[in-house]
Amino acid sequence: MDLGLRDAAVVVNGGTKGMGRAAAECFAADGAKVCVLARGQAGIDETVAALAALGSPDAWGVSTDLTSRPSVEAAFAAVGERWGSCNTLVNAAGPVDVGIGAFDAIDDDEWMATFDIGTLSAVRCVRAALPLLRAAEWARIVNVSAHSTKRQSPEIVAYTAAKAAMTSLSKNLSVWLAGDAILVNTVSPGSFLSAGMVGYLEALPAERGVDPHSLVDAMRVIGEDFGHPAHLPRAGDPAEIGPVIAFVGSRVNSYMTGANVNVDGGSDFC
Ligand X SMILES: NC(=O)c1ccc[n+]([C@@H]2O[C@H](COP(=O)([O-])OP(=O)(O)OC[C@H]3O[C@@H](n4cnc5c(N)ncnc54)[C@H](OP(=O)(O)O)[C@@H]3O)[C@@H](O)[C@H]2O)c1
| Residues in contact with ligand X by the rule CB under 6 A | 14, 16-20, 38-40, 43, 64-67, 92-96, 117, 144, 146, 189, 191-192, 194-197, 238
Question: Dihedral of the CA atoms 136, 140, 141, 145 (nearest 10)?
Answer: -170
Contact present, 72 and 66 (Cβ < 8 Å): yes
Q: Shortest approach of ligand X to residue 137 CB, angstroms?
A: 28
Closer to ligand X by CB, 31 or 95: give it.
95
Residue 144, strand partner residues: 187
Closer to ligand X by CB, 65 or 225: give it.
65
Q: Shortest approach of ligand X to residue 236 CB, angstroms?
A: 8
Q: How far apart are CA 68 and CA 124, in angstroms?
A: 8
Question: What angle is formed at CA 64 by the lines to CA 108 and CA 109, rounded to 5 degrees?
Answer: 5
Q: Shortest approach of ligand X to residue 219 CB, angstroms?
A: 10
Q: Shortest approach of ligand X to residue 13 CB, angstroms?
A: 6
Closer to ligand X by CB, 136 or 158: give it.
158
Q: Shortest approach of ligand X to residue 59 CB, angstroms?
A: 15
How far lies 59's CA from each of 11, 140, 202, in Å?
10, 19, 32
Closer to ligand X by CB, 170 or 194: give it.
194
Per DSSP, the three-state class of 139 is strand
How far lies 241's CA from each of 45, 51, 138, 166, 205, in Å?
23, 17, 23, 18, 29
Closer to ligand X by CB, 46 or 58: give it.
46
